[in-house]
Amino acid sequence: MAASREYVDYLLESLAPLGPVVGKRMFSGVGLFLDGLMFAIVIDDQLWLKADDLNRGKFTALDLPPFTYPRQGKLTALSYYRAPDESLDAPHALLPWARSAFAAALRGRDVEGRRRPPRRKPTA
């Protein structure tokens, strides 16, 4: 599993209207980040967009699958769904999906931030 540099460059150029989107290598793919938040992943030259309870229905309505990987003999699904093929044909078609994915990442950050207590160094 890998993401070609050409495909990632195409996506970064297409997503430029969102702001400074950055691609970072991770595992066997590339994470796409905006303002420090990962909102998409690219694996095997396939784009997967962040989903949550508010935007997941857009993906499931089009029968788009979640990203899965094998773990301990079972398939584990992440909260990233395959981008619609039509959205990859032109930046204007991709941007609404990417904005929705970034909004899901923002909401996830806010929820996760409330759940986690701050880390404290152990006292002697």
Q: What digits encode the pLDDT tens for the residues 26-35?
A: 978 999 999 9
Architecture per CATH, 5-111 = 2-Layer Sandwich (3.30)
Helices (H) and strands (E) in the chain, counts: 3, 6
Confidence band for 3, pLDDT divided at 50, 70 and 90: confident
Q: Which residues pair with 31 in a beta bridge?
A: 24, 41
Residue 9 reports pLDDT greater than 90: yes
**Structure confidence by residue, pLDDT tens digits, 99-124:** 999 999 999 987 655 545 555 555 55
Output phi, psi for 80, to 5 deg.
-125, 130
**Structure confidence by residue, pLDDT tens digits, 78-91:** 999 999 999 999 88
DSSP 72: T
Annotated domain spans of the chain: 5-111
